[in-house]
A = this chain, B = another copy of it.
């Protein structure tokens, strides 16, 4: 059985608030996702492969998808897309911006970009958020 320490608290709470019991598999996934300093951008396949690589008893694909989906529905992960019909997830759930550099994704803090001019929302609508993608290429 697992003893909960204060370090684990945050990511176990994320599971609980997603309606998920903190089982072994889920705790390991949540820890892997949230127990890091920097934002993590990933696909479910990438997550599965990197976690299962070091494990003798693999966590099943369905558990990865289910857990990620529940965390996303509860607002602990944000979904986004690149141009390759795969879902990416972002542990930074605040509204922020990105550099896209050949499949690599880098966060840009919200306050690093400000606008001089922005269009109004069409009538009956309002703006939920404004997010910028800066696509990069190699110099020269």
A121 to B115, CA, bound (A): 18
A129 to chain B: closest CB distance in Å? 5
Q: A112-B117, A114-B116, A114-B117 are in contact. Are A130 and B127 (CB under 8 A)?
A: no
Residues of A within 8 A of B (CB): 79-87, 99, 101, 106, 108, 112-119, 121-122, 124-139
A132 to B113, CA, bound (A): 11
State which of B114, B124, B129, B136 has its C-beta within 8 Å of the C-beta of A121: B136
> A138 — which chain B residues lie within 8 A by C-beta?
124-126
Chain copies in the assembled complex: 2
- The majority secondary structure among interface residues of chain A is strand
Contact between B128 and A131 (Cβ–Cβ < 8 Å)?
no
29 contacts between A and B (CB under 8 A): A81-B81, A81-B82, A85-B85, A85-B86, A85-B87, A99-B121, A101-B122, A112-B118, A112-B119, A113-B115, A113-B117, A114-B116, A115-B115, A115-B116, A118-B134, A121-B136, A122-B136, A124-B138, A124-B139, A126-B137, A127-B134, A128-B135, A128-B137, A130-B133, A130-B134, A130-B135, A131-B132, A131-B133, A132-B133
